[in-house]
Structure 1
Amino acid sequence: MTLLQRNFCSITAVQLAENLFATTPVMHRFLLIEYNYAWEEKVLETSTIIPDEVKAFLDTGVENGDFSRIFLVKNGQSNRDSIHLFLVNNRPEDPFAKQLCINNYQDLLAIDFRQEFANETDRLPEPMYLVCTHGKVDMCCSKFGLPIYKRLIELGADVWQCTHVTGDRFAPNVVQVPSGHYYGHLQLDEIEPFYDTLQSNQLYFTKYRGQSWYSKPQQAADYFLRKHLADFQVDSLTLVKSEVLSDDSQKFIFSHRDRQADYALVIQYTLSEPVYVMNCKATEKKPVDLFNLLSLTKLTQLPSEEKPSRYHYTQLA
């Protein structure tokens, strides 16, 4: 079978019109490590370049909650005399990334990552872009990711190839740093408007997968509210409350920065029929999470003298 004859999971997902929103993996802080060598499927586990004691140290960092995930990155342009590290705090309010440089991977053992994340000085001044090109995990990532990576280089972006970011069927996947916003199914001819939109602190909403700090129900609520308001400014919404209502529903309250109002959304979630192909290596179809908006209510904040009722309720959906 030739490459052109293969069934690519990304193309299948588009044909099935699978939702992009609320598909982002949940991460609370993550670490990027430069690795300019071949990427096998489980590259961090199998690498003979990174010492085993360093791998164990990094595993402990994940277990202790210093960071949620580790990605390996490369761009073919950096100085080979040093290794770049990027610490990313992808919290929704005031995210940041910072860069460290080490001489070898053994130097990772001397870094107090909890302290480094707490020290928010020396932030990177401009966003970075990660493009998953990890073809040994899924061929869609390299086939569709590499052209996007090269186009972003042409546009002058600070862009790096990245190991598996999850969601193979949404390739090409792009992650903006430090915001942790995920995008999928990008086409080569839309990369310039995509890049311009993100550089202006807006979400490229048609290909938006979600904010990686949020749970998937929270991502769904964020998506539905932004769609309702037609507000795609990155920092216009703040999640202020989450409440579990039942086994299959949650309530979320978001505050809007400019409209002097909060919004309450009730999200219901369920599983689809098993009709989706998770990746190009899949031998069976599986269900995916589905999210429905049950209600959307505007909670206009009233002056403090009008308490005890804080809100005026206006049902919107």
Structure 2
Amino acid sequence: MGGQTGMARGCGHPAALHTGEAPILASATVGARFWLLIEHSGPWAAYLDECRLPDDTHALIERATALGIRPQLIRRPGRRAAAGGPLHVFVASSAGSRPWIAEGTFERSNDLDLGSLVHGVVPESCILVDEPVFLVCTHAKRNACCARLGLPLARFLDENLPGNVWETTHVGGDRYAANLVCLPHGLYYGSMSQAAAIAAANAYRNGEVVLDRYRGRAGIPEPLQAAEHFVRAHTGELSVSGVAVESSRSESEGDATVCIVHRTKPGGLSRFRVVVEPAVFAAPCGTACTEQISTYRLTELSELSPALA
């Protein structure tokens, strides 16, 4: 698809959105700080409440949603497990500096203590998982491009990282298909080719991010995602925990957001004052139509002196 213009076939989004030509920074899902992944082979309807699931599973999804936990259905790439049997789940906390993911199997959904999860505690009967979990959105009923681009990507990653990769339902931002989410940190990547995806996955396994096609970290407001991105681009800091926003405020006039961002480095911290503003990218169609993509632009980035920091 590289170099094409016009709409990406089957999804109604300009092809530029699927090739990395359009800006995708600061577009990770803001509301996802806690995760509930439920294995279900499908089929998947457009929305979770429309899926044919056991009543017990629907009740678990409703309970998670009420607590602010993001529910996702997952399945192994290219394989469909037999229906029935115990409930197999992953639960994850992307919040804070020490994210984690754990796995559990339950006969009844009520046995899963989601209250512990939202307090950052591993629920009873769940076991911490040492390896990262990679989610690829393949939710065809939500958007055709997620399946057309996501399915081959999920199979490719599964061949290279067996046991760590799952197909999943809508993760947000289907315009950026193929989408990849790295848990437990909740790192989002979009417009992924096979080469870009394996590079991002291997970097994450080594505790780093790849800025190319990096959408941001889930659970963080979009302007703060943008501020972190610009500091990484400026400093070359790629470690997952190496950059974080300490504080932020909105300007009294205009839409700018002012952030203090720290970078962890050998010997201590450096701090930066970062100002970002909303911007719009108009993706070319090659026809009369145009899709406008919300993004952010950098208006100021300055390192604070040690006295101010």
What's the TM-score once normalised by structure 1's chain length?
A: 0.81
| Higher RCO by CA contacts (8 Å cutoff, separation 6 or greater) | 2
Matching of residues 98-113 of structure 1 within 5 Å: 98-103=102-107, 107-113=108-114
**Runs of 5+ unmatched residues, structure 2:** 1-6
Q: How far does residue 7 in structure 1 lie from its aligned partner after superposition?
A: 5.6
Does the 8 A contact of 1:30 with 1:70 survive in 2? yes
Contact 2:137–2:168 under 8 Å retained in 1: yes
Over 3 Å counting, the alpha-carbon distance change for 1:78 and 1:204 in structure 2 is: farther
**Is residue 35–residue 73 contact of structure 1 (8 Å, CA) maintained in 2?**
yes
Q: How does 1:143-182 map to 2 (within 5 A)?
A: 143-157=148-162, 158-182=164-188
Superposed CA deviations along residues 238-292 of structure 1, whole A, max 9, x for unmatched, are: 221111113401111112211531111011114455x578xxxxxx755332311
Q: SS of 1:203's equivalent? A: coil
Structural mapping, 1:81-120, within 5 Å? 81-103=85-107, 107-118=108-119, 119-120=121-122
Corresponding residue SS for 1:223: helix
Q: How far did 1:96 drift? A: 0.8
Q: 1:15 to 1:148 in 2, by over 3 A?
A: closer
Q: 1:10–1:171: 8 Å Cα contact kept in structure 2?
A: no
Give distance in 2, aligned partners of 1:188 and 1:57.
34
Q: 1:219 to 1:47 in 2, by over 3 A?
A: same
User: Hey, what does 1:232 align to over in structure 2?
Assistant: 238
Q: Deviation at 1:60?
A: 4.1
Q: How has the CA–CA distance of structure 1 residues 264 and 79 changed in structure 2, closer, same or farther, with 3 Å as cutoff?
A: farther
Structure 2 residue identity aligned to 1:251: V
1:150 to 1:16, Cα distance in 2 relative to 1, 3 A? closer
Does structure 1 conserve the Cα–Cα contact (< 8 Å) formed by 2:67 and 2:118?
A: no
Contact 2:249 2:257 in 1 (8 A): yes
Q: Residues 290 and 5 of structure 1: is their aligned pair in 2 closer, same or farther, counting only changes over 3 Å?
A: closer
Q: Does 1:210 pair with 2:216?
A: yes
Going from structure 1 to structure 2, the CA distance change for 1:100 and 1:7 (only over 3 Å counts) comes to closer
Q: State the SS of the aligned residue for 1:287.
A: strand
Q: TM-score, normalised by structure 2?
A: 0.83
Name 1:71's counterpart in structure 2: 72
Residue aligning to 2:3: none
Question: How many angstroms apart in 1 are the aligned matches of 2:269 and 2:149?
Answer: 42
Percent identity of equivalent pairs: 23
Q: Given that residues 189 and 213 in structure 2 are in contact (C-alpha distance below 8 angstroms), is that contact kept between their aligned partners in structure 1?
A: yes
Does the 8 Å CA contact 2:14/2:284 hold for their aligned counterparts?
A: no
Which residue in 2 is equivalent to 1:62?
Answer: 65
The alpha-carbon deviation at position 234 of structure 1 amounts to 0.7
| 1:211 and 1:219 in contact (8 A); partners too | yes
Residue of structure 2 in register with 1:281 after alignment: none
Give secondary structure in 1 for the equivalent of 2:37: strand
Aligned length: 288
The alignment's C-alpha RMSD in Å is 2.7
Gap change, CA 1:197 and 1:79, over 3 Å in 2:
farther
3-state SS in 2 of match to 1:300: coil
Name the CA distance, whole Å, in 1 between partners of 2:257 and 2:8: 43
Q: Which has the higher helix share?
A: 1
Cα displacement (A) at 1:57: 5.1
Larger radius of gyration: 1
Residue 114 of structure 1, CA deviation: 1.3
Q: Which runs of 4+ in 1 moved over 6 A?
A: 77-80
Question: 2-side partners of 1:180 and 1:125: how far apart?
Answer: 15
Is 1:13 the equivalent of 2:13? no
Aligned residue for 1:305? none
Q: Are the structure 2 counterparts of residues 16 and 73 from structure 1 closer, same or farther at C-alpha, using a change threshold of 3 Å? A: closer
